[in-house]
Structure formats: C-alpha cells, structure tokens
Amino acid sequence: MVNMKVIITYMPGLKANFLILLWSIFISGSQGGHYLSYGPDLKPAQGSVWPKPWWQDDTGRYFSVDPENFRLVAVNKNCPLLQDAMARYTKVIRQSAQGYVKAPQTAVIRKIQQLSVNLTQACETLPHLNMDETYYVWGDGRVIANSIWGIFRGLETLSQLLVPMPNGLLRIPETEIYDEPRFKYRGLMLDSARHFISKGKILQLLEGMAFNKLNVFHWHLSDDSAFTFNSTTYPELSLKGAYRREMTYSPAEVKEIVEFARKRGIRVIAEFDTPAHTASWGASHPEIMTKCAGKYAGQLGPFNPTKDSTFTFLNKFFSEIRNLFPDRYLHLGVDEVNPSCWEGNSEIQKYLTSKKLDNGVLPYLYLERFTADISTLGWKQMVWQEAMTEYPYMKWPTGTIGQVWFDFKNVSRDLTARKFDIIHSQDWYMYVLSTGGDWEKFYKVEPLDFEGSDVQKKHVLGGEACLWSEYINEYNVMPTTFPRVSAVAERLWSEREHGSTEEATPRIEEHNCRMIYRGIEARPANSFGLC
Amino acid sequence: MVNMKVIITYMPGLKANFLILLWSIFISGSQGGHYLSYGPDLKPAQGSVWPKPWWQDDTGRYFSVDPENFRLVAVNKNCPLLQDAMARYTKVIRQSAQGYVKAPQTAVIRKIQQLSVNLTQACETLPHLNMDETYYVWGDGRVIANSIWGIFRGLETLSQLLVPMPNGLLRIPETEIYDEPRFKYRGLMLDSARHFISKGKILQLLEGMAFNKLNVFHWHLSDDSAFTFNSTTYPELSLKGAYRREMTYSPAEVKEIVEFARKRGIRVIAEFDTPAHTASWGASHPEIMTKCAGKYAGQLGPFNPTKDSTFTFLNKFFSEIRNLFPDRYLHLGVDEVNPSCWEGNSEIQKYLTSKKLDNGVLPYLYLERFTADISTLGWKQMVWQEAMTEYPYMKWPTGTIGQVWFDFKNVSRDLTARKFDIIHSQDWYMYVLSTGGDWEKFYKVEPLDFEGSDVQKKHVLGGEACLWSEYINEYNVMPTTFPRVSAVAERLWSEREHGSTEEATPRIEEHNCRMIYRGIEARPANSFGLC
C-alpha cells in the first residue's frame, strides 16, 4: 500500500486526479489468497528494464520528467540516424504518459528538463555483426555510448525507466546502468512464403524487436510454396510463383523495410533458400530445376547443379538482391536437400559419367560454385546446420555462420569444434504453442548448454527465434510473437545467470504493458489484467 | 486439371484474365508427394457450406451470378430485419468476387439476375431459444423459410455457395439444400472481465458467429478481476471495479452490440456471476459482500445472503440490466462458491443461530431469494453446473438451464436424469492451445457422448465455446476464436455422423478463406496457403 501522506503532499491537482490515484492504488493492491481481490492478477515491475541490463544500481530516489516539456539533446556527435532516434524516443516518452497508471505519487529530487545524448564517436551508417551496442544510462537523464547502436539501446532503456505518476509527470529512478549484450547476434526469422505477411505487420515486428533490443531480422522470402519478392530482373518469379499478385513485396517495399530496420539498429538478412525448397522458382523457371523420374516423375526437384545456365541465372538474380539488402550476410538456406531427384535424372547421370564423378559430388557441385559466386558478390554467408553437417568436404568461405535448429547438444558441440560460428534456434520455433502465457519455455533455453571448451562456446554468436508460418498468418503473427519472443530476447541479451522465470514474471508483465501502449499487438504475458 | 477447351469457350475477357486463370490452375494444382509443388498445401473445397447442411443434393451443373448486377428480392413477407439482411448479404456476395480465385472457368446453365427471398410468415423481432432456423436453398437463387431466422441462415448458405470464376462472375451449383440445426443452442461465451475486449472486436466476433450459424453470445461481464459494465444506477461499480475507466461498456455500447447481434439472429445472454466471483463489486459496495475472518481476514467473500439490503441492491441493479438485455434468459453464474468466508463471519453466524439454521442453508438463502427476484423481473435462468450439482435441495425455476464444463459423462447423465436442460461446454475452452491448426480436438467433442436414455439426450439443448480470457486479450481474441470455433459450430449444427476431420479439412480451409476475405481476423486452419 502506498503512503497516503506522501501522495497528498506531492500531488498538485488532487481533485482531478484523485480517481486515477485510487485506480493506481487498487491496481497495485492485487493480492493472492483464496478470495481474490479485484484488479489484475500480477503487479507489474514498474519501470523495470527488459531485457535485464548487465549492471543496474538504484538509490531508491527518483527524478521526474514532464512528458509535455522535456528535450532530448545531442551533446556531442550528431547525425541523421541520431536525430531520427531522438525524434522517435521523444514520441515514445510522450506515449509513456498515456501508459497504464502504475506508479504512486512519489517524492522526487528534482524535475529533469533535458535528457542528454552523448555519442562519443562518429555515426556508422549500417548495423553489422560486430557493432558496439554498449551504453551507459543515468537516471538523471544521460545516455552515453561510443556508437550510434549503443545510443539506440540506451534510449530504449531510458524510455523504459519512465513511469507515469498520478500528477501527470513521469517518474525516473536515480539509477546507473552499464549495459552490453551477452551475444552479438539476436535475431527473429520470418517466413513470409508459407503465409504472406504484409509490410505493415513486418514494420510492427521490427518496432517490437527494437523494444526488445533484437538486432537481426532474417527474412525467408521464398520456399516451395511461394516466391514473394517482385524481382525486376525476373518478374515472372513472383508473377507465377506467388500465391497471388498482391502477396508479394516490391523492391520499394523491401527498401522501406530495410531502412525502417536500419533506423533501429536492426540488420536485415535475406534468405532465398536453395537448392531445395525451390518449387516456386520452378513455376516460371523449370529449366533451372531438376526433372525427377521414377517415383517422382512429373515433379521438379532441386536446382540442377550440372548446368552453367543455373548459375548464370542465380548470379543475375542475386546481383539484384545484393543492391536491395546492404547487410554483409546472405542466408543461403541449404536445408533439407533430398538427392533422390538428382540421382534419377538421366541428363545429370550422363553428365556425371562423362566427368567420371558419382552422385555424392552433386551437392558440392552446387555449393562450391554457388558460394563462390555469392562471395564474389561481396557477401558473407549463413546456412542451416545441414549444410555443414551433411557435406563434410565442403570448404565454406571464412566466416560462414551455421544456424542450429535440431540436436543442438551434438551439433553445436561438433560445429564449434570444427571452428564454425553458429547461432542457436532450437526450441525457439514460435509456432510451437501451449496453453498459458507460454513464454517460460523459450526463456529456459540456453544456447551454451552443450559440452565444449570456452573457445568452442565463443563460436556461439547468438540465436534467433523463428516464425515458420505454416500456422501463422497476417492475423496471429503479432500476438504469436509478442511477448513470447521477449523471452528469447532477454536470454540473448542478459547474463546467463538471469534465468529465473519467477524474477522475470513481473518484469515481462510490465514490458508487455509497455509494448501494448506503444502499439504492439501483443497477447497477455501471464494472466488476467490490463495487458 | 481443368478442361482448357471449356475455359476458352466460356471466357469472354480472355487476355485480361489469363494470368488470374493461370493462378487459379496453379492453386488448384497443389499436390502431395515428396517434391512439393508450389502453391498452397491444401485445395479448399470450393463453395462448400460450413457448417455442413442437413441435406444437399448437387447435379454437377452450375449457374452464374454477376456480382455487380444482381438483386436480392423479398418475394413474400418483408420487414426491417429482412431488408437489413438483404443489404448485408448483397455486400457479402459482392465481396465474394474479391475472394481468392479458386473456381476454374465453368460452363453454366444460365446467368441468374434475381435471388429471391421467400419468407412465408411474419417476422419475429427477437431471436429466442426456440426460434425456427429451418430453411431451403436452391442454387438457382431461391431461399425459403418460415421464419426470419431461417432466412438469415439460408442467406448465409446461399452466399457460401458462390465462388468467383476467372471471368469475374460467381459460380453457384445447381443444388437443393434442406437444412436445420441439430441443436437449438449454439453459443460462444466471452469473458470480458479478465481482459477487456473492445466493442469493435465484439462486433467482429458476432459477425464471425453469423458466418458459422452460431446463435447465442453469452457475455460474462463481471468477475473478481473487473466489473466492465457502466451501470447508470450504480456507476461506481465500474468506476471503482474496472481496470480502467475506458475498459468498460456504456449502456449505449451494450445496446449497439445487442442490436448488431439481433440483426444476425444471435441472442445476447448477459452473465453477472454471483454470489462468488464478485470481488470487483466489493470495490464500491463492500456492504453487500461478506467480511472474511480467520485465515481470510481482511478479504471480502461472496455476497452476504443474510441481509435484505443485498437483495434490494441486486434487484435494483438487475432491473437496469433487464432493460438492456431483451433475451428471455439471464446467466446467473453461481460457479465456484466457497462457503468458508460465510462460515467465518460472526454476523452471519449470529443470524443463523437466531433463526436456528446451520451453515448448509446459506447457499439456499441466497439462491432461493435471488432466483425468485430474477424470475419476477421476467427472466428465465442459466447457471454453471455447480449450481445444480452442489445444491440438491434447490428448486430451480422451471426451464433453468445448466452449463456443463467438467466431468460431463457423469454430470450430463445426472442432470438430464433430473430433467434439467443443459448445454455442453467441456473441452470447448478456446484458450486451450496446441501447436497446429488445432481445430480438430474441438470438432471431435460430442455433447451426447454420455450414458442416458433418448429422453435424457433431448435435454441437451446444445453447447457453447468459452473464451475465458486469462490468456486472451484484444489482440489475440479473433485468431484464437476463428477458425477454431467453426469446429464447435459444425458439431452443434450438423448431424452427428459428420464426424470425419478428414472430410471437414478442405471445407474448413475454404470456410476460413471465406471468413478472411469477409474481414474476420482468423488464423490458418490447416497449413500453408493463402489464408
């Protein structure tokens, strides 16, 4: 219960706000026990930061900020990305005042009018794998970082500290935060091929990712089912390979999405999965596919790796993609390649005979040539784990990252022993649903929970939640993702010892409320209540 | 594969539509097998009716309807409800043309310009438990029913038969349908107390219910957590008992919801659960609650049944409710009443001693007096099963309906043996989530699957899916409900022998697409595809 004396002393517009005050008390007053009190089930941890910072020290005292009368000021370096972020967080902080009233009226040290943003080094323009996301935040209104990316993360933290009080001011704790991520790769993958997801929802996904300090949007744009990118070079790919003409992304839309992400320090990594999972390419370009025979007669299998024209085609296509996706990495896919169709195709068999090769060489024919072309285009590469586990003789370009999605105790151990960098996705498949808040299972996943040396563990660059979209469409993508992905985000950002779901529960409750009043269509985190 | 000759013969604007035609073929061409074809996983059952009609006989031939040039005409009785429905379905049929292209170009007998609506008896104005929902539909464009409610169901069926063809016309089969529901009570319950659900989403729920021929919206408006109705008589109930001022329904909003439902033949049954689950009432009216002692000291328990003022209060409150909810039935709740607080309250104990009564009489004190008052207000009553199973001496007013939600094999058997009418809700709790399409488990529930005579089985009036909202809020309520509730709707409407999920799969796929292009925010029904 709050101290009524403090409330009355520090409350200017008492009458007007008395009702709101009562609410805030009621809402704070929720308790367990057999006869339920009214109000929400849980008391959210007011103004707590999600994901949990590396180090935070509070004095227990507070400052205040008037949401209608404060300025974010760049006190050192400046650049368009920073100006954009300050405008954005000015809005976010104003929105905080509309948030669910939670803090009791609190005595404050003083009102802060200027929030200062101290960027110590020149802005970079593109987020990248090794970007510096370290920052300091002081509750008296200072954010300091060496890089623009650290400033982004610091502004997010600063905005989360602010909680509205009954008098309309925002409360901010006298606190000191030093923060940096545990892992540098913290991703969310969207499969927009099995179900199409509109640009509007993708932008909302990115906004929500920024609120969780996620920094990679991995975009799976094609699969057997559909080809969703409107290529200028080969418009027929989506004209024939998409479910419908309007279920595609134009180059302009891709640019908008990539730019929206960049402004939030989120990389966008495109994936056009090959050489399998490519039936939709075959709708317009059956000539790059393999005609199956025997049991699979009449069907089209993986890309034909024995024809020069296959690679000419791919090179031309990926040259276009190179210009739209500025990130250094491209995801090649290479998952679930079944060789039966290659092995039954008479032309391919003739080719092998003429070259004195056997079937075992076919994946290498494809991968060696294709990855060389992709390297020449200036990309580093990501692949699903099978690419590394099933083709042991493949010499992957330096820095190729494997994405682990099953049997990780063995696979992460083996791949890191082979000195591959990896990211973890096992048990972070978001379509896996259970009754309840259903975020705890994601929270408990630990990417380093395999046997291996410290050197091996350093090869784990991070992880990624995956929105495979068999059961996800336009209408459930947001509430399926939020707040469940927040659990993944904290696991990847915060220190390993932050593993208690009990400690995390009131913080994710608060964070979910925050996301909702900021416009994210999130489902409930825990139980009944406002959010 | 469609017959290309037929297509070319019957296709006026060939060039313009050729691409769309190709799509429709591609989409129809989806197949299983190891190497996936592109396009959706499943071929939806084009123009199939959901829920499955009692009797439908198709000739295999088709008519066509021009979505821009047809009229729905009332050829017999008419009334405002009918005019509204015809305007609504004119819009729905026009929307069908925007639906995902699915039918190949098909030869037709002739184009139909007039769809005739033959209502043979005067309109009723209020949907009710025993309303007649029987109808006939002929594919040549006729709907016949004795009641306006049957006309509503028939128009829904007629609209579902229409599938767009590449030439822009809608195809309708030469069919004859006779249809009537298996159960007369087919409900959806929404708990808007644990999480608040906006009016806009409730209207969308009702719209979706009409597309599934559901006919009861059971609205759980208060619970321990929150009191969401803005009473004119006691405004403090929601002022103090709601989560927030804006998380409430005004009388005008209630009227709008009830009217929106009435226009679709959907009854609205209010539930204000008492005497337990009432903590939110205690926020403003602790005097009607029981002050607990001992272990529960400081808490408020169920309504105090020993004070006249409790009933005076309730009578005044429910008089207001009576005017807003015209349905003959009120749901009294009466679930999970724990007597410990009553038994520990010294005033109540004094009262019992003075009257020479024991604790066992307390629930009866409440129920007998309260139900008599509710009857006097002109209502019939519904209760959760505990009200009937735990108070064997209670004489429920004639026609009281019990809602069964657990242990139904025993409870449905016992209650029907005691001649109570019941509805079935067990295993139809929508918040219970599993990975996948997740509708089959609801489809397999059979309300009559308990031991009992035919007479007993006749006491099962139907069933109801329940949206308890611990894990449901504004953002996931629609995709959690649709299309999963469609499975419940078919179980309650169609004959018992329609039990094969395999047969139902392509129909629910079609139905889900239909709901989506009509504006319902439904999640995927089965697997990857357009919907």
Question: For residue A167, is it within any domain?
Answer: yes
Q: Is B482 helix (H, G, I), strand (E, B) or coil?
A: coil
Q: Does A110 touch chain B (CB under 8 A)?
A: no
pLDDT per residue over A295-308, tens digit each? Answer: 889 999 999 999 99
Q: A215, A186 in Cβ contact below 8 A?
A: yes
Give residue A34's pLDDT: 55
Please list every residue in chain A whose beta carbon sits closer than 8 Å to the beta carbon of residue B40: 225, 243
Reported as a pLDDT band with limits 50, 70 and 90, residue B25 is very low
Q: Are B475 and A478 inside 8 Å of each other by CB?
A: yes
* Chain A CB within 8 Å of residue B522 CB: yes
pLDDT tens for B155-176 read: 999 999 999 999 999 999 999 9
**Using CB atoms, which residue from B35, B478, B522 is nearest to A299?**
B35
Distance separating alpha carbons of residues B69 and B48, to the nearest angstrom: 23
Q: Which of B505, B508, B463 lies closest to B483 in space, CA to CA? A: B508
Cis peptide before B51 (omega within 30 of 0): yes
- How confident is the model over A169-186, as a mean pLDDT? 98
More confident residue, B97 or B491: B491
Percent of chain B surpassing pLDDT 90: 89
Contact criterion met (CB below 8 Å) for B124 and B148: yes
Q: Which residue has the higher pLDDT, A411 or B97?
A: A411
Q: Are residues B189 and B112 in the same domain?
A: no
| Cis, bond preceding B275 (omega within 30 deg of 0) | yes
User: B interface mutation test: which of A192, A475, A484 has the most B CBs within 10 A?
Assistant: A475
| Residue A22 forms contact with B (CB below 8 Å) | yes
The tens digit of pLDDT for each residue in A453-464 reads 999 999 999 999
Q: Identify which of B226, B316, B237, B247 has the alpha carbon closest to the alpha carbon of residue B284.
A: B237
Q: Look at residues A154, A179, A204 and tell me which one is the last residue of a structural domain.
A: A179
* B371 lies in the same domain as B497: yes
In a domain, residue B527? The reply is: no
pLDDT digits (tens, 9 = 90+) for A218-275: 999 999 999 999 999 999 999 999 999 999 999 999 999 999 999 999 999 999 999 9
User: Domain residues for A379?
Assistant: 185-518
User: Are A214 and A150 part of one and the same domain?
Assistant: no
Q: What residues of A are in contact with residue B19 (Cβ under 8 Å)?
A: 239, 245
Q: Which of A147, A179, A211 is the last residue of a domain?
A: A179
The yes-or-no answer on residue A180 being catalytic is: no
Q: Are residues A159 and A220 in the same domain?
A: no
Residues of A in contact with B438 (CB under 8 A): 433, 471
Mean pLDDT of B353-369: 97
Q: How far is CA A492 from CA A227, A381, A437, in A?
A: 31, 21, 20
Does A249 share its domain with A265? Answer: yes
Please judge whether B434 and A438 are an interchain contact, meaning their C-beta atoms are less than 8 angstroms apart.
no
Q: Which two tokens stand for residue A380?
A: 């580093």
**A471: in domain:** yes
- In the structure, what pLDDT confidence band is assigned to residue A27 with cuts at 50, 70 and 90? very low
Residue A373 lies in a domain: yes
**Quick check: B195 and A524 CB within 8 A?**
yes
CATH code assigned at B202? 3.20.20.80
- Separation in Å, CA of B476 to nearest CA in chain A: 6
Torsion angle, alpha carbons of A100, A104, A107, A108, to 10 = -20
Task: Report whether pLDDT(B2) > 50.
Answer: no
Q: Report the amino acid identity of residue B310.
A: T
| A212 part of a folded domain | yes
Domain assignment of residue A17, yes or no: no
- Do A491 and A426 have their domain in common? yes
- Whether B279 and A469 lie within 8 Å, measured CB to CB: no
Provide the chain B residues 86-105 that lie in CB contact (below 8 A) with chain A: 100-101
Q: What is the pLDDT of residue A113?
A: 97
ipTM of this complex prediction, to 2 decimal places: 0.92
Inter-chain CB proximity A524 and B470 less than 8 Å: yes
Chain A residues within 8 A of B26 when measuring between CB atoms: 240, 283
Nearest to A513, CA basis, from A34, A6, A4, A102 = A102
Say which range, B33-42, B271-280, B324-333, has the weakest mean pLDDT.
Answer: B33-42
What distances in angstroms separate CA A318 from CA A113, A269, A304, A309, A315, one per listed residue? 50, 13, 17, 14, 5
pLDDT for residue A103 is more than 50? yes
Per-residue model confidence (pLDDT) at position B499: 80
Average pLDDT on A10-36 reads: 38
Secondary structure of residue B340 in the 3-state scheme:
helix
CA nearest to B473, candidates B275, B106, B225, B136: B225
Looking at residue B148, which CATH number applies to its domain?
A: 3.30.379.10
- Whether residue B191 sits in one domain with residue B174: no
Quick check: pTM over 0.90? Answer: yes
Are residue A162 and residue A303 in the same domain, yes or no? Answer: no
Q: What integer pLDDT is reported at residue A498 of this predicted model?
A: 80
Are residues A368 and A422 both part of a single domain?
Answer: yes
β-partners of residue B197 are: none
Final residue of a structural domain among B151, B179, B207? B179
- A18 in contact with B at a CB cutoff of 8 Å? no
Query: Percentage of chain A surpassing pLDDT 90?
Result: 89
Alpha helix locations (H) across B186-231? 199-211
Does A371 lie in the same domain as A271? yes
What's the mean pLDDT when you consider all of chain B?
93
Q: Which residues of chain B from 476 to 495 reach within 8 Å of chain A, CB to CB?
A: 476, 478-479
Q: Say what percent of chain A tops pLDDT 70.
A: 93
Residue A300: closest C-alpha in chain B: B35
Q: Name the pLDDT band for B34 (thresholds 50, 70, 90).
A: low
Facing B528 at nearest CB: one of A27, A244, A469: A469
How far is residue B119 from each of residues A326, B77, B81, B144, B149, measured CA to CA in Å? 64, 5, 12, 6, 10
A425 belongs to a structural domain: yes
| Assigned domain for B266 exists | yes
Picking from B396, B412, B276, the residue whose alpha carbon sits closest to that of residue B335 is B276
pLDDT for A506 equals: 96
Which is the catalytic residue, given A236, A259, A336, A495? Answer: A336
Task: Chain A: give the shortest CA distance to residue B179, in Å.
Answer: 32
- B37: confidence class by pLDDT, cuts 50, 70, 90: confident
Same domain, B316 and B229: yes
The answer to whether A270 and A330 are in contact (CB under 8 A) is yes
Structurally, chain B folds into a number of domains equal to 2
Q: Which pLDDT score is estimated for A2?
A: 28
pLDDT computed for residue B3 by the predictor = 30
How far B41 CA lies from chain A's nearest CA (Å)?
Answer: 8
Pair A197, A161 in one domain = no
